[in-house]
Every structure is written in structure tokens, then in C-alpha cells.
Amino acid sequence: MKISKLLLVPLALTISNASLAEENPFYIGFGLGYHDLDGQKAQSDHYLDGQKAQSDHYLDGQRFGDQTNSLNIYLGYKFNPHFSVEAAYSNFGSAYDEYIASVNYYDEWEGEYKHAYIADDETLEISSFQLSGVAHYPVLEKLTLSANLGISYTRVDSEFRPVSTWWSLISPIERYSEKDVDLTYGLGATYDFTDKFSGKLQWKTIDNDIVAVNGFDLSLEARF
């Protein structure tokens, strides 16, 4: 997803007008997450590289879908009680799903072409660097709600591997890697245990063209 530079204008204006600096403006957080991955539909005209295959393609309507755990770290600077900027890194680990492919192949034993349906595994490995503006709204003495909006530099590594043993002999593994700048946004709630330590629950979305990431992070946060 191509993100317009105009998204950065409100962030710059808010920073330039920020006041009432916090006593402990810097904070750092570590957390774990659980996310749903909703991928694009398999391309029906996506051709594999099997040397003896004539027309390999995935059946229409199939879509990547899986759940995964994530590891997150972020660093923020709070300009005032209502606004901060955060830089974050998230690793979403590996996820996989299967696609059914229609293939025509040459049977050397019988000397003729044949048709079969086989399953292909797709494995995705996803990581992301994010830069976001965060709006804070205190609702209780120790409870603060937040909303974030920013950009994500997302890397998606995918691998297609034939599940059927016999097909893997004539169809090699395909690997792809894509990097993109995407929109990221979310909502959160932070509870202050002490003046310097908090717990944070956040719902977060990364709107990537290959696979959209949606889920929750639970983090421990320290201010300094």
C-alpha cells in the first residue's frame, strides 16, 4: 500500500505545537501478541515452475488464513499528557495455509499427459517496523485510553512448497519476498501500576497488500 506523505503532516503539526512536557517523557515496552492473518486470494493464473507441468494453477476463491503469535518492542516519547510518538518493531513469526492446485503433468511411465489436483503449502514470515503518532485520553487516575495512526515498513517472505511427495520431485519450491510501506492503526488501554511501570492492551492492524494483520498485543511498559 502506497502511503501519501500527507499522513505525516498532522503528526508534524502536533509535534511542533506540543507543550506541557512530561516529567518522564521516554518510555519503552515489551510484549506478546496474537494475530489473525488474512491474505490475498490465490492467483488462479499463477504458474509454477515444474519442468514437466503444462498448466498449473490454483483454483479460484482460495485465500490465505492463519493465526500467529508476535514479539513486539517499542520506544516512545510523550510530548504532553495527550500525545506521543512511538517507534516499534514486531516479528509475527511463521504462518501457513494450503491451496489446492490443478495440474497437468507428463507421466513418463505411461508416456502421456495426465491431470491431478494437489495441495501446495504457503508459508509466510512477517516482520514490521512502525512509526506512529499516539493520542492519549485519561479516563481514570490510572487508566488511559489511546489511539494510534502511522506507517509500517513491512516485510513478507513467502514460500510455496508442494505437499504431495511425488509432485515435489518435479516441482521446485518457490520463494518470494516483498517489502512495502503500509498504513497501521489501533486502539489501546494503559493501566499504571506505579509512576514508572504500566501494563498495556492494544488492538493493532497493519493493512498490507499481501496479508492484513489484525490482533491484540499485551505489553509491559516502563517510563524513564
Check residue 14 and give its pLDDT: 47
Q: Is the dihedral of CA 154, 122, 71, 149 positive or negative?
A: positive
Q: Are 85 and 131 in contact (CB under 8 A)?
A: yes
Give the range among 46-50, 154-158, 182-186, 218-222 with minimum mean pLDDT.
Answer: 46-50
Mean pLDDT of 108-136: 82
Contacts of 139 (CB under 8 A, 6+ apart): 145
Give the range among 1-5, 118-122, 206-210 with minimum mean pLDDT.
Answer: 1-5
Q: How many CB atoms lie within 10 A of CB 55?
A: 13
Domain count, the chain: 1
Check residue 46 and give its pLDDT: 43
Indicate whether 74 pLDDT > 70: yes
Contacts of 148 (CB under 8 A, 6+ apart): 86, 132, 133, 134, 135, 184, 185, 186, 187, 188, 202, 204
Q: Which 3-state string (H, E, C) describes 115-141?
A: EEEEEEEEEEEEEEEEEEEEEEEECCC
Check residue 119 and give its pLDDT: 63
Check residue 20 and give its pLDDT: 47
Indicate whether 128 pLDDT > 80: yes
| Predicted structure pTM score | 0.72
Highest mean pLDDT among 100-104, 125-129, 169-173: 125-129
CATH of residue 215: 2.40.160.20
Q: Quick one: pLDDT band at residue 69, thresholds 50, 70, 90?
A: very high
- The rounded distance, in Å, linking the Cα atoms of 90 and 74 is 9
194 against 7, higher pLDDT: 194
Give the domain range for residue 189.
Answer: 5-223
